[in-house]
Copies of this chain bind each other. A is one copy, B any other.
Amino acid sequence: MADRHTDVTASARFDAENCSLKDILERVGDKWSILVVAALAREPYRFRALQRAIEGISQRMLTLTLQRLERDGLITRTVLDLRPPRVEYALTATGRSLTIPLRSLADWAEEHRGAISASRARWDAKQPPPGSSAS
């Protein structure tokens, strides 16, 4: 036994952490935040460069995401007053520490991506496509 269901979690902490987990997910749990942290994990970026590095992010969302991350103390914002203005973003120590669990998540994603796609394909095949037996 012991393989039955649950030992991998090995603790009630998951339970107790629900609130804090839920809580944290609302801060760093969104796609853009994670992608920004992932980008900054490679190297500091300037605003524009960051926007170019993260495909699909709008200026607005980048601004908002960066502000939230700065507020949470995960990144620093450094203004170099040159001409033209230059603003550099970089991870703080806390931000850097986040990249560790983030990487394990990324690794998991990479490892199981195929299985998930396959499962989806199987599931979809079984679903009654709308209009299958309609007149």
User: Given known contacts A100-B104, A113-B20, A116-B72, is B94 in contact with A6 (CB within 8 Å)?
Assistant: no
Copies of this protein chain in the complex: 2
Any chain B CB within 8 A of the CB of A60? no
| Chain A residues packing against B (C-beta within 8 Å) | 5-6, 8-9, 12-15, 17-18, 20-27, 29-31, 34-35, 38, 41-44, 54-55, 70-74, 90-91, 94, 96-113, 115-116, 118-120, 123-124
User: Given known contacts A14-B41, A71-B120, is B100 in contact with A112 (CB within 8 Å)?
Assistant: no
A5 to chain B, nearest CB (A): 6
Picked from B13, B55, B94, B100, the residue with its CB within 8 Å of the CB of A106 is: B13
In the bound complex, residues from chain B placing their C-beta under 8 Å from that of A118 are: 73
Taking a contact as CB atoms under 8 Å apart, the answer to whether B34 and A21 are in contact is: yes
Interface centre among A26, A31, A90, A105 (most CB of B within 10 A): A105
Taking a contact as CB atoms under 8 Å apart, the answer to whether B110 and A5 are in contact is: no
Of all A-B residue pairs in the complex, the 6 with the closest CB atoms, nearest first, are A73-B119, A24-B109, A101-B104, A9-B41, A71-B123, A101-B105
**What are 15 contact pairs spanning A and B, CB under 8 A?**
A5-B90, A6-B41, A6-B42, A9-B103, A14-B41, A17-B106, A17-B110, A20-B109, A20-B113, A21-B106, A25-B109, A73-B115, A97-B112, A98-B108, A101-B101
